Structure 1
Amino acid sequence: MTTTIYHNPSCGTSRNTLQALREAGHDPQVVEYLKTPLDAAGIKALLAKLAARPRDFLRKRGTPYDDLGLDDPKWTDDQLIDFMAAHPILIERPIVVTSKGARLCRPLEKVNEII
């Protein structure tokens, strides 16, 4: 299985995670998800690999999270996924998928669980 990192090159944690993967001998597929956004089906598939719900991966800082009122519990998982598809910056990063599993690598050391 290919190692994949959902990456934002502007994020220090994401850059450091990519470097850690390469130092561990991985040649990951790098998905710059802000340039190549995931659609709702792609986000659902990624969340399934993470065994997580959308709210667990919503980024607040530097995003329209507050402006959209996403802290309101009225939003369903499907609605949150739609927001994430429309505003990819809402997806927390970096997310790494390997043959050993998937993790949000925040903090960076989480990548060690799956490499």
Structure 2
Amino acid sequence: MSKIVILYHNNRCSKSRAALALLQVRGIKTQVVNYLDVAPTFEELQNIFTKLGTDSPRSMMRVKDSLYRELGLDNAELSDDDLLKAIAEHPTLLERPIAVIGDKAAVGRPLENIEALL
């Protein structure tokens, strides 16, 4: 049985394109989710966050993006749900690429994070 990787992808991002190329070169079945065209739901984002196994949704957010600061998301009092709702409303805040394989996920910065899942 071959694994299927779900790749949250932005074609305008060189890291995201590199992750997709890596999966294609390895012949790994990939379901590409162009998350800027079809934004992940709050529930999907909760699922990704759980699979990442990190302490905060900020690990899957573009914290250096100006929108992050404009929305006041650097406020330490915000809950995980507050942050995930912000990503659901503003998918540009989602870090890219993110690969999900089974019950694990990784942000592909650096690309070795995704390689470690394979």
TM-score, scaled to structure 1: 0.92
Shift of 1:63: 4.8
Contact 2:62 2:95 in 1 (8 A): yes
* One-letter amino acid of the structure 2 residue matched with residue 67 of structure 1: E
Instruction: Quote the residue 1:73 is aligned against.
Output: 76
Shift of 1:100: 7.5
Describe the SS at the equivalent of 1:49.
helix
After superposing on structure 2, the runs of 4+ consecutive aligned residues of structure 1 that deviate more than 6 Å are none
Match of 2:52 among 50, 68, 73: 50
Q: How far apart, CA to CA, are the structure 1 residues paired with 2:47 and 2:58?
A: 15
Match of 1:59 among 53, 57, 62: 62
Describe the SS at the equivalent of 2:77.
coil
Describe the SS at the equivalent of 1:29.
strand
Q: How far apart, CA to CA, are the structure 1 residues paired with 2:106 and 2:22?
A: 14
Q: How far apart, CA to CA, are the structure 1 residues paired with 2:60 and 2:8?
A: 12
Percent sequence identity over aligned pairs: 36
Instruction: Quote the residue 1:103 is aligned against.
Output: 106
For the aligned residue pairs, the C-alpha RMSD in angstroms reads: 1.5
Contact 1:63 1:90 in 2 (8 A): no
Q: How far apart, CA to CA, are the structure 2 residues paired with 1:97 and 1:2?
A: 9
Q: 1:22 to 1:100 in 2, by over 3 A?
A: farther
TM-score, scaled to structure 2: 0.89
Shift of 1:66: 1.1
Alignment deviations for residues 65-85 of structure 1 (CA, whole Å, 9 cap, x no partner)? 011111111211111111010
Structure 2, unmatched stretches of 5+, are none
Q: How far apart, CA to CA, are the structure 2 residues paired with 1:30 and 1:44?
A: 19
Q: How far apart, CA to CA, are the structure 2 residues paired with 1:77 and 1:4?
A: 23
